[in-house]
Amino acid sequence: MTTLRLTFISDTHSQHQGLMIEPGDVLIHCGDFTARGDLDDTMDFAQFMAAQNFTHKIVIAGNHDWCFEDKRRQSAEACLEDHEIIYINDSAVEIGGIRFWGSPIQPEFLHWAFNRQRGADIRKHWQQIPDDTDVLITHGPAFGILDACTNGRRVGCEDLLETIQRIKPSVHACGHIHESFGIREQDGTLFINACNLNERYQLSHPPVVVDVEVDPGTGRVSPISNQKSPGISL
Half-sphere exposure of 54 (CA within 13 A, CB side): 27
What is the tens place of the pLDDT at every residue in 117-143?
999 999 999 999 999 999 999 999 999
Calpha distance 110→49 (Å, rounded): 29
Half-sphere exposure of 76 (CA within 13 A, CB side): 23
pLDDT bucket at 233, cuts 50 / 70 / 90: very low
The SS3 call for residue 82 is helix
Percent of the chain with pLDDT over 70: 95
What is the structure's pLDDT at 232? Answer: 44
Can you list the domains of the chain with their CATH numbers? 2-228 (3.60.21.10)
The answer to whether 68 and 77 have CB atoms below 8 angstroms apart is: yes
pLDDT higher than 50, residue 12: yes
Which of 165, 163, 170 has the alpha carbon at shortest distance from 214? 170
What is the tens place of the pLDDT at every residue in 28-62?
999 999 999 999 999 999 999 999 999 999 999 99
Point out which residues pair with 165 in neighbouring strands. none
pLDDT higher than 70, residue 85: yes
pLDDT bucket at 228, cuts 50 / 70 / 90: low
pLDDT bucket at 217, cuts 50 / 70 / 90: confident
| DSSP conformation letters of 109-167 | -TT-TTEE-TTHHHHHHHTTS-TT-SEEEESSPBTTSS-B-TTS-B-SBHHHHHHHHHH
Q: What is the pTM of this model?
A: 0.95
Calpha distance 40→231 (Å, rounded): 25
Mean of per-residue pLDDT scores for the chain: 94
pLDDT higher than 70, residue 195: yes
Cα 91 to Cα 37, 80, 103: the distances in Å are: 21, 16, 7
The DSSP letter of residue 38 is: -
pLDDT higher than 90, residue 176: yes
